[in-house]
Amino acid sequence: MNLILLGPPGCGKGTQAKRIEEAHGQVQLSTGDMLRAEIAEKTALGAKITDIMNAGQLVADDIMIELIAKRIEKPDCKNGVILDGFPRTLAQADALSAMLEEKGLKISHVVELKVDDDAMVTRITGRYTCDHCGQGYHDEFNKPSIDGVCDTCSGTEFSRRADDNEETVRSRMMAYHEQTTPIIAYYGDKNVLRSVDGMAGIDQVTAELNEVIGGAL
Ligand code: AMP
């Protein structure tokens, strides 16, 4: 099964992709995580994209297409992938179709997580993760049981993403509506598009997603 999760920043694509990976074995490919790793490792690509990401703009299509093309070749992608954050433009969607076709593969489902933009700003600006184990928390909705101590690994160091401030979030939302929403119609025309209410609780969204993708597992 090859699945694409679509939706604006903060809609829960990453959280749900991790859950599907754990439950069903397909690999989560998060282009945002891949780019953040380039920045953390101080690579030449990392230096090139830092300002673009901090401004909430999209990284160039040719860079993104090459990144995914290389990643999808790795053996762990053989059982299928969950694309989280890619494609984000029509050019990326076209390139992905060509890449998969060449391998005799196809997209099983594209699931759009439908959410309310304003709620996303609160969701995103309050989120942070444990530096040690990566467990996610939120200032309002999901605090650790002991303040400042990770429930999972007892770590005490936490970080926020550089692009999770309100100004950048608004730019990321704008980029989503201008450049990414056209691909919803693109996949609608191919009859692979489904939608799930992303405003429901995390477990409810997982349950609905499992129902939608059930036939493809
Ligand atoms: P995300 O973690 O998916 O919210 O992505 C964080 C940032 O990485 C985005 O705001 C973009 O700057 C960049 N990015 C991630 N995926 C893509 C993509 N497919 N195309 C262009 N830029 C991307």
- What integer is the mean pLDDT of 118-135? 95
pLDDT digits (tens, 9 = 90+) for 75-108: 999 989 999 999 999 999 999 999 999 999 999 9
Cβ-based neighbours of 165, under 8 Å, separated by 6 or more: 125
Which of 52, 59, 63 has most ligand 1 atoms within 8 Å of its beta carbon, as the pocket-test mutant?
59
Instruction: Tell me, using a 6 A CB cutoff, whether residue 59 lines ligand 1.
Output: yes
Instruction: Tell me, using a 6 A CB cutoff, whether residue 80 lines ligand 1.
Output: no
Q: Could you count the other beta carbons within 10 Å of the beta carbon of residue 100? A: 15
Q: What is the dihedral of CA 180, 182, 186, 192, to 10 degrees?
A: 60
Instruction: Tell me, using a 6 A CB cutoff, whether residue 9 lines ligand 1.
Output: yes
The set of long-range contacts for 184-190, using a CB threshold of 8 Å and a minimum separation of 24, is 184/6, 184/112, 186/90, 186/93, 187/4, 187/6, 187/93, 187/107, 187/110, 190/107
Is 123 designated active site?
no
Instruction: Tell me, using a 6 A CB cutoff, whether residue 32 lines ligand 1.
Output: yes
Q: Which of 43, 49, 77 is nearest to 62 (CA)?
A: 49
Q: Whose CA is nearest to atom 6 of ligand 1?
A: 32
pTM of the model: 0.93
pLDDT digits (tens, 9 = 90+) for 132-190: 999 999 999 999 999 999 999 999 999 999 999 999 999 999 999 999 999 999 999 99
User: Does the structure show a pLDDT above 80 at 216?
Assistant: no
Distance from the alpha carbon of residue 154 to the mean position of ligand 1, in angstroms: 30
Distance from the alpha carbon of residue 85 to the mean position of ligand 1, in angstroms: 6
Instruction: Tell me, using a 6 A CB cutoff, whether residue 56 lines ligand 1.
Output: yes
The residue assigned the tokens 């992905």 is 96
Q: Is residue 215 very low, low, confident or very high in pLDDT (cuts 50, 70, 90)?
A: low
- Catalytic-labelled residue, pool 78, 88, 143, 160: 88
Is 172 designated active site?
yes
Give the chain as a 3 state SS string. CCEEEECCCCCCHHHHHHHHHHHHCCEEEEHHHHHHHHHHCCCHHHHHHHHHHHCCCCCCHHHHHHHHHHHHCCHHHCCCEEEECCCCCHHHHHHHHHHHHHCCCCCCEEEEEECCHHHHHHHHHCEEEECCCCCEEECCCECCCECCECCCCCCCCEECCCCCCHHHHHHHHHHHHHHHCHHHHHHHHCCCEEEEECCCCHHHHHHHHHHHHHHHC
Is 161 designated active site?
yes
Distance from the alpha carbon of residue 114 to the mean position of ligand 1, in angstroms: 18
| 54 token code pair | 């901090």
Which of 6, 35, 62, 179 has most ligand 1 atoms within 8 Å of its beta carbon, as the pocket-test mutant?
35
